[in-house]
Amino acid sequence: MSTMDIIKLYGGEPANFLDVGGSAVGEALKQAMMLVHDDPEVEAIFVNIFGGILDTHILSQSILDASKEINFTKPLVLRMKGLNSDKSEALFKGREEELGMYYIPDFD
């Protein structure tokens, strides 16, 4: 819920909210991303993970894998903190434009 509050604070309007829990990898993640991406009210996707249960590196790799099957046409912003977030950041560093995915270290 704080993610939606931050988006509103900066003038955005959340169109959808999805809590993926600790099992957001593989096919489950791909389906979740497709649901959000295909929502016509969604203009951009903000993935905000605090990884205590979920390894952010595994999630990041799953997002990259899903992007091979889903043609993301909307900007995708990733904010991940917690377990292996340094490895997550390394997957995207310097490839943001190529991937159309942007890794940010904090809400601001």
Which CATH number goes with the domain that contains 63?
A: 3.40.50.261
pLDDT score of 24? 67
Of the chain, the end-to-end C-alpha distance in Å amounts to 16
Q: What is the pTM of this model?
A: 0.80
| Count of domains forming the chain | 1
**Mean pLDDT, consecutive 10-residue segments, the chain of 108 residues?**
84 78 74 86 85 80 86 89 90 88 84
List CB contacts of 102: < 8 A, sequence separation 6 or more: 75, 76, 77, 78, 92, 96
Where in the sequence is the domain holding 17, given as residue range(s)?
A: 2-104
Task: Enter the tokens of residue 86.
Answer: 């340094």
